[in-house]
Structure 1
Amino acid sequence: MGLAAALLFLLLAAPAAFAEQYTVGDSSGWTSTGDYQSWVQGKTFTVGDTLLFTYGGSHSVEEVSKSDYDNCNSGNAIKSYSDGNTVITLSNPGAMYFICPTIGHCAGGMKLAITVCYG
C-alpha cells in the first residue's frame, strides 16, 4: 500500500515539476504597446504553468469571459489584479482571457487569450 501511495504522489506531482513560468510580453511586460496575439504564437500552456504579468501603475490585469474579452468589457471581471507583478497559476485546462481594463487599452490590443492544455 505504501508503494502505491508513493507512486500516485509522484504521478500527481510530475506536472508541477515541469511547470514553466511565462512572462507575458517577455522583456517588455504587460504594456499598451505589446502585441500579445504574436507573443502567444508557438507557446503551449499546460496545467501547472504560470503567467507573470509585469506592469506599471497605469495598467492592471483582469481575467474575463470570452464575451468580455471580445468586447473589451471590464465590468464583470472573474478576477482582478493590480499589484504590478501578478503571477497567475494555470490550474485548469481550457481557454483563459485577460485584458487591461484601463480605458482604450484593451481596444488598442492589450488583451491576451490562451488555451491551457492538461499535461
Structure 2
Amino acid sequence: MGRLSTHVLDTAHGCPAAGMQVTLQRVQDGQAELVKRVTLNADGRADGPLLEGAALVAGTWRLSFEAADYFRARGVVLPEPPFVGTVHLDFGIADVQGHYHVPLLVSPWSWSTYRGS
C-alpha cells in the first residue's frame, strides 16, 4: 500500500521542527485543492501518513511548510519579508504503491529536500 509522509529538520538549531504547520494540496490544471493541514510533532513529523491507500493518487502534489512562522515562534528575529517564508514543494506521485517520503531541511536562510525512504 502506498503512502506519503514528511518530516522537517531545523538546521539552524539542530533539531526537529516541532510545531511547524504543513499544508498538503493536490494540484490539477494549475489549481491547488486543500487536502490536509497538520502540525508537526516533537520529532518534526506528522502523527501519521499524510496520504495512504486509495487516497494516494497519481499526479502533482504540493507541500507548504510555514518556515517563517516556525522560526518566529522560536524567537528568531527575521527581516520583513523573511528570506525563507513559506516553502512550497511541488512533486509528482507516479507509483501509487510506492512510499513517498518528502523531508525538508530548513533554516531562516536556506532549505533543501529530497525523496527519502
TM-score norm. by structure 1 comes to 0.39
Higher strand share: 2
Higher relative contact order (CA 8 A, sep 6+): 2
TM-score norm. by structure 2 comes to 0.40
Higher helix share: 1
